Amino acid sequence: MLSLHHVSIITSDLRRSLPFYREVFGLVEIPRPHFPIPGAWLACGSLQVHLVVYPEGSFRRNPTIDRNDWHFAFQTADFEAFVEQLTARGFRDDLPQDDPQCMSVFRTGLAGFPQLYLRDPDLNVVEVNAAHQPTIQPLA
């Protein structure tokens, strides 16, 4: 049986992305080995988020939130409090889709739990949801 250890995210500018993940999501920087490529490791509960510097950035060029594109998700026990925290930081769901502080909020939907989506400084889509920890049953 496997379990997820970390998610690695490309950033073109660590000085821009590191504060975003620390301040917006409250992640804490943890020690990282001295790799030849700059980056940072952040604790997220028992998992980790690894920021890896790639000067050319990601392949993403579309500045809109596309929740069907590649993304990863954080889970919160208090969805509305997290929405309020983002709103206090200037994120809003009524901004143009190409605004860096645009977020898309779905309080009900097909997933069965509240979700919101926003982008990091490198246009990576990040979801925050209020999903309950499921009991996973493999498909036949």
**From residue 133, how far is each of 3, 107, 136 by CA, in Å?**
14, 18, 9
**Are residue 14 and residue 73 in the same domain, yes or no?**
no
Per-residue pLDDT at 65: 81
pLDDT in tens, 11-29: 999 999 999 999 999 999 9
Q: Give the pTM.
A: 0.85
Domain CATH code at residue 95: 3.10.180.10
Structure tokens given for 78: 């208090």
**Are residue 128 and residue 70 in the same domain, yes or no?**
yes
Residue 56 or residue 108, greater confidence = 108
Give every strand in the sheet of 71-75, ordered side by side: 71-75, 125-129, 115-119, 104-106
Q: Give the total number of structural domains in the chain.
A: 2
- Residue ending a domain, choose from 17, 33, 55: 55
Structure tokens given for 76: 């919160």
- Residue ending a domain, choose from 18, 33, 55: 55
Parent domain of 71: 64-133
Quick one: pLDDT band at residue 109, thresholds 50, 70, 90? confident
**Are residue 76 and residue 121 in the same domain, yes or no?**
yes
